[in-house]
C-alpha cells in the first residue's frame, strides 16, 4: 500500500474517460463536437473585455503578492453590493469569502460542517457531491430525481432523509440538467430544513444547507432564480452559498469564486481555505472588484452571453424534439438556465451496423462519438444509476453553426441502430 486509504478510494472522473476517447479520435484527425465539458471555449466565449484589461492592468501594477486569505476587501465590498443589487441579499464583507474559483468553497463548507460518518443529503444527478463526501468520509444520501420533475428534487423525496443529517447540498440552476427550482418547490424544501432544525437541541450541530447558485445569472426566458434566504429569512443562519465568476462571466480559468453565509461557518471556511492556500490570484481579485462594481459592464456582458447560450440550447432542444416527433427514441427538457441541456437517447439493447449490442448509456455515448462525431456525458457521471438513458449536453465550447450541423449526424447514426 503506497498511498493513503483515501487516495486509493477516490473514484476517477467518467468525464475524463470520455475526454480520453475524444482526444484519441482527434489525434486521428477526426472532428468531434465536444459537448462534454462544463467549460467555455474562450475563443467563442471570451471573458468580458473590461475584466481582461483590468487583469492585465493589475499585473502591470505589480499586484502579485499574497492577497488577504479571505479575499481583498474591495472585492468583498463589490460582492456585497452585487448580492444586494441582484438578489436583495444582505451580507457584509466579513460574511463573504473569496477563493480560487468555487470548488475550494464547496470543499471548505464540507470540511467546516461535516464530520466523518455524518450524513450528507443531495439529489442525483448533481455535480461532485459524491466526490466531496468521499474526501470527507461522509455518508452520501443520494436522492434519485425524476424527469417529470425536471430532475430537481422535491420536498417529498427529501423529507425521509433529513433526520440527523449534517448537510443538504442543493444547486439551481443545476449542473448537469440546466433545470431550476420553481419557487414553491424550493419553499417546501426550505420548510423541511427549518422543521428539522427545530428538533435539534441547543448546542447540537444544525442541519446546514449548501446552496450552489453559480449559474444563477444565466437563466432564460421567464425562469426566475430563487434562493432559500430570500424565501425564508430564518434560513440565513443555516445557509451557505456557493457562487462566483466562473460560469456567468465565462471565466473558468480566472479562478475567482465567492461564498457567503453565517459568520461562524464562514470564519471556519476562511481558516480552511487559508491553510490550503486556495485563494484567488491577487491581480484577478483587483480586476474582478472593479468589473463587478460596474453594472453597465456586467449587464452588457450577461445580455450577450445569455442570448448566445440560449440560442445554442434552444436549437439543440428543438432538434431533439423534432427527432422525437419523427419517432426516434429521444427526448429533451426545456432549457431553463446554465449551459446545459438534458437529453434522453434511449437505445440500450439496440445493435450497431457492426453487430455490436449497446448495453448501456455509456455504450450509446461511445457509439455516438464514433458514428455521429458527437460526445455527451451520461448522467451516471453525476451519481445516477448506470442504466439511466439521460445525458448532459454542454454548449459552452461549441458554436451555434456546429450545433446545427450536428443534429442530422445524430439522426443518421440513430437511424442505423436495429
71 Ramachandran zone, left/alpha/beta (phi>0; psi -120 to 50): left
Cα Rg of the chain, angstroms: 22
Beta carbon of residue 92, minimum distance to ligand PLP (angstroms, whole number) = 23
Q: Pick between residue 244 and residue 335 the one whose CB is nearest to ligand PLP.
A: 244
Beta carbon of residue 337, minimum distance to ligand PLP (angstroms, whole number) = 11
Beta carbon of residue 246, minimum distance to ligand PLP (angstroms, whole number) = 3
Angle at 224 between CA 220 and CA 230, to 5 degrees: 150
Beta carbon of residue 324, minimum distance to ligand PLP (angstroms, whole number) = 27
Q: How far apart are CA 267 and CA 246, in angstroms?
A: 23
Beta carbon of residue 413, minimum distance to ligand PLP (angstroms, whole number) = 28
DSSP state of 374: E
Which spans of this chain sit near ligand PLP (rule: CB under 6 A)?
38, 101-103, 127, 171, 175, 212, 214, 242, 244, 246, 252, 257
Q: Pick between residue 100 and residue 361 the one whose CB is nearest to ligand PLP.
A: 100
Q: Name beta bridge partners: 34.
A: 375
Q: Pick between residue 284 and residue 371 the one whose CB is nearest to ligand PLP.
A: 284
Task: Determine phi and psi for 345, rounding to 5 degrees.
Answer: -135, 95
Please name the residues in contact with 7: beta carbons below 8 A apart, sequence gap of 6 or more: none
Q: How far apart are CA 294 and CA 290, in angstroms?
A: 7
Q: Pick between residue 48 and residue 319 the one whose CB is nearest to ligand PLP.
A: 48
Helix (H) or strand (E) holding 379: none
CA-based nearest residue to 392, from 310, 309, 306, 313 = 313
Q: Name beta bridge partners: 97.
A: 259
SS (H, E, C) 241-266: EEEECCCCCCCCCCCCEEEECCHHHH
Q: Pick between residue 40 and residue 347 the one whose CB is nearest to ligand PLP.
A: 40
Q: Pick between residue 150 and residue 175 the one whose CB is nearest to ligand PLP.
A: 175
Class of residue 233 by CB neighbours under 10 A (exposed 0-12, middle 13-18, buried 19+): exposed
H helices then E strands: how many in the chain?
14, 13
Q: How far apart are CA 106 and CA 104, in angstroms?
A: 5
Beta carbon of residue 87, minimum distance to ligand PLP (angstroms, whole number) = 17
Beta carbon of residue 212, minimum distance to ligand PLP (angstroms, whole number) = 5
Q: Pick between residue 101 and residue 228 the one whose CB is nearest to ligand PLP.
A: 101
Contact status, residue 211 vs residue 225, Cβ threshold 8 Å? no
Nearest residue to ligand PLP on Cβ basis: 101
Beta carbon of residue 346, minimum distance to ligand PLP (angstroms, whole number) = 25
Q: Pick between residue 105 and residue 266 the one whose CB is nearest to ligand PLP.
A: 105
Amino acid at each position: 500500500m503506497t498511498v493513503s486509504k483515501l487516495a486509493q478510494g477516490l473514484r476517477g472522473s467518467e468525464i475524463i474517460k470520455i475526454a480520453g476517447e475524444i482526444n484519441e479520435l482527434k489525434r486521428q484527425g477526426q472532428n468531434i463536437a465536444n459537448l462534454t465539458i462544463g467549460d467555455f471555449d474562450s475563443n467563442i466565449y471570451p471573458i468580458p473585455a473590461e475584466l481582461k484589461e483590468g487583469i492585465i492592468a493589475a499585473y502591470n501594477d505589480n499586484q502579485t503578492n499574497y492577497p488577504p486569505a479571505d479575499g481583498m476587501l474591495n472585492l468583498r465590498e463589490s460582492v456585497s453590493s452585487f448580492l444586494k443589487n441582484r438578489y436583495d441579499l444582505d451580507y457584509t464583507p466579513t460574511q463573504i469569502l473569496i477563493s480560487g474559483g468555487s470548488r475550494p468553497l464547496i470543499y471548505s463548507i464540507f470540511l467546516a460542517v461535516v464530520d466523518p460518518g455524518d450524513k450528507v443529503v443531495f439529489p442525483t444527478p448533481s455535480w461532485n457531491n459524491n466526490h466531496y463526501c468521499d474526501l470527507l468520509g461522509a455518508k452520501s444520501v443520494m436522492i434519485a430525481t425524476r424527469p417529470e420533475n425536471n430532475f430537481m428534487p422535491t420536498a417529498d423525496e427529501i423529507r425521509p432523509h433529513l433526520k440527523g443529517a449534517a448537510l443538504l447540498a442543493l444547486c439551481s440552476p443545476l449542473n448537469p440538467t440546466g433545470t431550476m427550482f420553481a419557487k414553491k418547490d424550493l419553499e417546501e424544501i426550505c420548510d423541511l430544513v427549518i422543521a428539522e432544525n427545530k428538533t435539534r437541541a441547543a448546542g447540537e450541530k444544525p442541519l446546514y444547507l449548501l446552496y450552489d447558485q453559480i449559474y444563477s445569472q444565466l437563466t432564460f426566458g421567464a425562469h426566475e432564480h430563487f434562493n432559500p434566504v430570500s424565501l425564508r429569512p430564518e434560513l440565513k443562519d443555516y445557509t451557505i452559498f456557493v457562487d462566483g465568476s466562473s460560469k456567468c462571466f465565462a471565466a473558468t480559468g480566472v479562478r475567482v469564486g465567492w461564498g457567503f453565509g453565517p459568520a461562524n461557518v464562514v470564519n471556519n471556511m476562511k481558516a480552511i481555505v487559508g491553510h490550503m492556500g486556495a485563494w484567488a490570484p491577487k491581480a484577478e481579485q483587483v480586476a474582478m472588484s472593479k468589473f463587478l462594481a460596474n453594472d453597465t459592464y456586467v449587464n452588457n456582458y450577461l445580455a450577450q452571453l445569455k442570448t448566445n447560450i440560449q440560442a445554442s440550447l434552444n436549437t439543440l432542444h428543438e432538434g431533439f424534439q423534432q427527432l422525437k416527433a419523427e419517432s426516434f427514441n429521444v427526448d429533451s427538457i426545456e432549457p431553463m438556465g446554465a449551459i446545459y441541456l438534458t437529453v434522453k437517447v434511449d437505445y440500450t439493447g439496440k445493435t450497431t451496423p457492426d453487430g455490436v449490442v449497446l448495453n448501456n448509456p455509456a455504450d450509446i455515448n461511445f457509439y455516438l462519438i464514433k458514428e455521429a462525431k458527437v460526445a455527451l456525458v451520461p448522467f451516471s457521471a453525476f451519481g445516477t444509476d448506470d442504466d439511466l438513458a439521460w445525458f448532459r449536453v454542454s454548449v459552452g465550447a461549441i458554436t451555434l453553426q456546429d450545433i446545427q450541423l450536428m443534429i442530422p449526424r445524430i439522426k443518421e447514426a440513430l437511424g442505423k441502430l436495429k
